[in-house]
Amino acid sequence: MSACSSHQSEEDRHRDANTPAGKVGQAAHKAAVQADKAGRVIGRKLNKAAHDAREGWKEDARKKESH
């Protein structure tokens, strides 16, 4: 549990980062960061698609009212 210690030296953190477990942890962190970024992009795209759909429905409603 030395990796959880706030008193861990820079040398200890560097050594722990180079262990197999440290490398797996780094890869998992990188994957999580990338997944978060992708999730945000998808969220923005979905919000834009929903906005565009609402605007289309409003336009259709205006056209139907004028006929």
Q: What is the pLDDT of residues 18-60, one digit of tens each?
A: 899 999 999 999 999 999 999 999 999 999 999 999 999 999 9
Within a domain: 44: yes
Decide if 1 is inside a domain: no
Q: Residue 20 domain-assigned? A: no
- Model's pTM, two decimal places? 0.58
What domain range includes position 56? 40-67
Q: Is residue 57 part of a domain?
A: yes
Q: Does residue 33 fall inside a structural domain?
A: no
Distance separating alpha carbons of residues 56 and 63, to the nearest angstrom: 11
* Cα atoms in the 13 Å half-sphere on the side-chain side of 6: 0
Give domain status of residue 54, yes or no.
Answer: yes
Domain tally, the chain: 1
